[in-house]
């Protein structure tokens, strides 16, 4: 994505010179000849950075006043002052008022390009640091070598560069946001912002302000998520919860890539890739009249499914290792070794809260395990709800039903659950299951047949 640079100078020659140099370097440019035009251009769409003449002769506001107006609304927008010889002091005071840097006329093309590149890079780094602070520190990559995870990585690789809209479908905590982030990072928009808006967490009354921003007398102006995401990706989490009214407006944005801020009259032009997600069945929401079918088709050009953790249990040991390392790095807690019995239980649990729940449990284990850091974590140290209760069923359910059966039947129920869980844990591989449970492969086959499995 080309950056969008606004050049503000009263001298047409300078405007042309600066934009010509920057255009040649692949930047996108817009120009303004006075303060009104400059503020209108920023108002039309927030640029990536601004080159601003200090004097700005014949304008309502001089350069420093324009700088103040910009900084009031767009704290993070880098502004580089263009200063004439002899007003270096003013340029220095501009830096104190929030300008990123200044260039002195006459300037060399190299210096101009260098300053622009640095200003944009710095703004991008600031944004990334902010995002890292906001987001989970673990959003660094998709872990897992199971078939579903390999397929997920393949599809991400394929669709990331295409710019098409993606709908990510999967239960809560399964990794939908991580998938969206990975998509963004692998796309040509990776240098642009990745903005998240959660439709389930915002009240319907606030939804439009969050999405489109606002410009109302009294309320001031605020940039919304769509504008924030210009040149990058907007991830709309739990899209099914978006109010009907907002759905209509989003549809219009998708059709003509422009929108109006709440209370505003001007059109804002944006270039944003929208990735949305849902944990609900959108077809049912459409059938119930809660979700617009035409919007669904526009948003879901490529649907991607992120399966529940229970469908990829063989990834659990690698995930546990990964989370332990992350948690250890961020908290200083020592990494622990998980015994085979504890891992078996972790792998056979159903994990209704998916990867997030697994991670939380790893963290809890590391905090509560106590004792000797070299001691192995055993099944009895697992939290009760993960199935350390005896006699528990390998699928994580309580063992109450076993208690109501005579031994022979209870053993059968247990064997069935145990073997189903072990087979699933080894990704359906009977040889590995047989080896682990300590049976001959043929004996295991006979046993499975007798129990009616497979």
Ligand X SMILES: Nc1ncnc2c1ncn2[C@@H]1O[C@H](COP(=O)(O)OP(=O)(O)OP(=O)(O)O)[C@@H](O)[C@H]1O
Q: How far is the CB of 177 from ligand X (least distance, A)?
A: 4
Q: Least distance to ligand X from the beta carbon of 311, Å?
A: 12
In this structure, what token pair is assigned to residue 305? Answer: 């499914």
Q: How far is the CB of 152 from ligand X (least distance, A)?
A: 8
- 3-state SS, the chain, equals CCCEEEEECCCHHHHHHHHHHHHHCCCEEEEECCHHHHHHHHHHCCCCEEEEECCCCCCCCCHHHHHHHHHHHCCCCCEEEEECCCCHHHHHHHHHCCCCEEEECCCCHHHHHHHHHHHHHHHHHHHHHHHHHHCCCCCCCCCCCCHHHHHHHHHHHHHHHHCCCEEEECCCCCCHHHHHHHHHHCCCCCCCCEEEEECCCCCHHHHHHHHHEEEECCCEEEECHHHHCCCCEEEEECHHHCCHHHHHHHHHHHHHCEEECECCCCEEECCCEEEEEECCCHHHHHHCCCCCHHHHHHHCCEEEECCCHHHCHHHHHHHHHHHHHHHHHHHCCCCCEECHHHHHHHHHCCCCCHHHHHHHHHHHHHHHCCCCCCCEECHHHCCHHHCCCCCCCCCCCCCHHHHCCCHHHHHHHHHHHHHHHHHHHCCCCHHHHHHHHCCCHHHHHHHHHHCCCC
Closer residue to ligand X in complex, CB, 81/178: 178
Pick 279 or 348: Cβ nearer ligand X:
279
Kindly tell me which of 228 and 315 has the beta carbon lying closer to ligand X.
Answer: 315
Q: Shortest Cβ distance from residue 175 to ligand X (Å)?
A: 3
In order of 255, 298, 337, the CA distances from 356 in angstroms are: 35, 29, 20
Residue 216 CB, nearest distance to ligand X (Å)? Answer: 31
The residue among 233 and 279 lying less far from ligand X, judged by its C-beta, is 279
Minimal CB distance residue for ligand X: 175
**C-alpha dihedral sign at 363, 369, 375, 381:** negative
Shortest distance, CB of residue 87 to ligand X, whole angstroms? 50
Nearer to ligand X, 138 or 395 (CB): 138
Nearer to ligand X, 222 or 356 (CB): 356
For residue 357, the minimal CB distance to ligand X (Å) is: 9
Shortest Å distance, C-beta 360 to ligand X: 9
Closer CB to ligand X, 46 or 349, in the complex? 349
In the Cβ-directed half-sphere of 174, how many Cα atoms lie within 13 Å? 25
Q: Give the residue with the Cβ less far from ligand X, 189 or 312.
A: 312
Please, which residue, 113 or 186, has the CB nearer to ligand X? Answer: 186
Closest CB to ligand X among residues 361, 422: 361
For the beta sheet containing 166-169, the strands, ordered from the edge strand earlier in sequence to the opposite edge, are 194-198, 233-237, 273-278, 166-169, 302-305
Q: Which of residues 109 and 200 has its CB atom nearest to ligand X in the complex?
A: 200
- Residue 335: what are its φ and ψ, rounded to 5°? -70, 150
CB of 235 to ligand X, least distance (A): 9
List of residues contacting ligand X (CB under 6 A): 136, 138-139, 142-144, 170, 172-178, 237, 279, 355-356, 359
Query: Minimum Å distance from CB 356 to ligand X?
Result: 4
Q: How far is the CB of 317 from ligand X (least distance, A)?
A: 13
């Amino acid at each position: 994505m080309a950056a969008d640079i606004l050049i503000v100078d009263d001298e047409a020659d300078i405007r042309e010179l600066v934009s010509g140099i920057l255009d040649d370097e692949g930047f996108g440019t817009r120009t303004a000849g006075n303060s009104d035009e400059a503020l209108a251009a920023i108002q039309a769409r927030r640029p990536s950075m601004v080159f601003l003449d200090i004097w700005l002769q014949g304008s309502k506001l001089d350069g420093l006043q324009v700088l103040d107006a910009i900084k009031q609304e767009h704290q993070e927008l880098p502004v580089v002052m263009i200063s004439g010889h002899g007003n270096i002091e003013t340029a220095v005071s501009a830096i104190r008022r929030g300008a990123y840097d200044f260039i002195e006329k006459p300037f060399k093309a190299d210096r101009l390009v260098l300053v622009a590149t640095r200003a944009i890079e710095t703004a991008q780094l600031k944004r990334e640091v902010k995002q890292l602070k906001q987001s989970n520190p673990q959003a660094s990559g998709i872990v897992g070598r199971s078939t579903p995870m390999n397929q997920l990585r393949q599809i991400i690789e394929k669709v990331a560069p295409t710019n098409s809209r993606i709908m990510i479908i999967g239960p809560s905590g399964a990794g939908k946001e991580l998938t969206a982030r990975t998509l963004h990072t692998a796309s040509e928009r990776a240098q642009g912002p990745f903005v998240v808006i959660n439709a389930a967490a915002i009240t319907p009354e606030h939804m439009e302000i969050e999405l489109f921003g606002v410009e109302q007398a009294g309320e001031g102006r605020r940039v919304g998520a769509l504008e924030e995401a210009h040149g990058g990706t907007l991830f709309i989490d739990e899209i099914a919860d978006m109010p009907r009214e907002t759905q209509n407006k989003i549809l219009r944005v998708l059709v003509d890539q422009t929108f109006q801020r709440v209370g505003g009259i001007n059109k804002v032009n944006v270039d944003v890739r929208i990735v949305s997600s849902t944990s609900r069945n959108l077809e049912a929401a459409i059938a119930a009249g809660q979700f617009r079918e035409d919007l669904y088709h526009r948003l879901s050009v490529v649907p991607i499914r992120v399966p529940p953790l229970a469908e990829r249990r063989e990834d659990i040991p690698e995930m546990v290792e990964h989370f332990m390392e992350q948690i250890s790095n961020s908290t200083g807690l020592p990494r622990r070794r998980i015994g085979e019995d504890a891992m078996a239980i972790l792998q056979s649990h159903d994990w209704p809260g998916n990867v997030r729940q697994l991670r939380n449990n790893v963290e809890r284990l590391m905090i509560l395990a106590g004792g000797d850091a070299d001691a192995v974590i055993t099944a009895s140290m697992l939290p009760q709800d993960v199935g350390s209760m005896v006699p528990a069923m390998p699928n994580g359910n309580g063992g109450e039903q076993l208690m109501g059966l005579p031994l022979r039947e209870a053993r059968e129920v247990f064997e069935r659950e145990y073997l189903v869980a072990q087979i699933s844990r080894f990704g359906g591989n009977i040889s590995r299951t047989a080896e682990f449970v300590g049976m001959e492969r043929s004996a295991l086959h006979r046993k499975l047949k007798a129990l009616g499995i497979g």
